[in-house]
Amino acid sequence: MHREQAIQQERPISHWTGWGQWLALLTMTIDHLSRHVLPADHALEWTQVTLGRIAFPLFAAMVAWHGLFNTRDPMRYARRILIIGLAAQLPFMLMPRASDTLLLNVCFTLSLGLMWGAWLRSLLARYREGQLASSTLLLAVAGSTLVMFLAGQWVEYGLYGLMLIPLMMLALHQLHSAAGDTTSRALALLSALPVLFAAGQLNVSDAAKGFTLATCVVVLLLAAGAARRVPPVTWVMPRRLWLSWYPGHFALIALWLWSTGGL
């Protein structure tokens, strides 16, 4: 019985991610249709700074959650995300945008962010076991942050998008494992502040910031215990749909733009 309780404490209930998959794909698709398919003077432009700002923090939260709680090999999980990004890159590059600078799609942001977070967690574990000096740990954090700053010039959402996943992993762990004492709860709450700061830098308008921050707050509350109250999703998303939707919907949008003379 004690072993089962320990496992439950280590791995929280993840029913919410089933609902999160549908919401993430829906809000992302609405955002991309509004930006690339509908006429410039359409009446749904407001979705770009509201519903459309839910998708990325939700994807990042699910990646951080699964990388932290539900996979034995976060690096392998990150490589699978990278494969989706590679498949989506060509149609993604066909989307109209203000700059001609090469930009890697959001799957690269999610994959690199997860790799960074998993690597930092492994270093922290070695430090706690006395296998790594504090100076080496600090140097590794500083050096990897510089590397991610440079990588942020090439990926969607930039450095703060890359930071969001390792910061989420830290906060989700602290909030889920916090004990009942005041110190533990205070540390858990403090760990949420960097997440909210990074999320607040992802957008410019107040409306967009509000939706992004609200999404992050909901996920943090789920880690703090609210996940136990979420029932299983009614219709489980087919795995093939989940893996193919991101590159597939960009390919369909590119085909539509080509057929209508938009490319």
Domain interval for residue 203: 2-259
**Looking at residue 44, what is its pLDDT?**
80
The C-alpha atoms of residue 248 and residue 246 are separated, in whole angstroms, by: 5
Separation between Cα atoms, residue 237 and residue 85, nearest integer Å: 20
- Our count of domains for the chain comes to 1
CA angle 67, 70, 75 (to 5 degrees): 35
Helix (H/G/I), strand (E/B), else coil: 115: helix
Q: Give the per-residue pLDDT at 98.
A: 67
Q: Where do we find the tokens 């890159």? A: 89
CB neighbour class for 168 (10 Å; exposed up to 12, middle 13-18, buried from 19): buried
Beta bridge partners of 138: none
Q: For residue 201, what are the CA distances in angstroms to 113, 211, 213?
A: 16, 12, 10
pTM: predicted TM-score of the whole model, two decimal places: 0.92
Residue 198: what pLDDT? 97
Residues in the chain, pLDDT under 70:
1-9, 98, 262
Question: Tell me: the pLDDT tens digits for 36-58?
Answer: 888 877 778 898 999 999 999 99
Residue 40 has what pLDDT? 74
> What pLDDT, in 10s, does the model give residues 146-158?
999 999 999 999 9
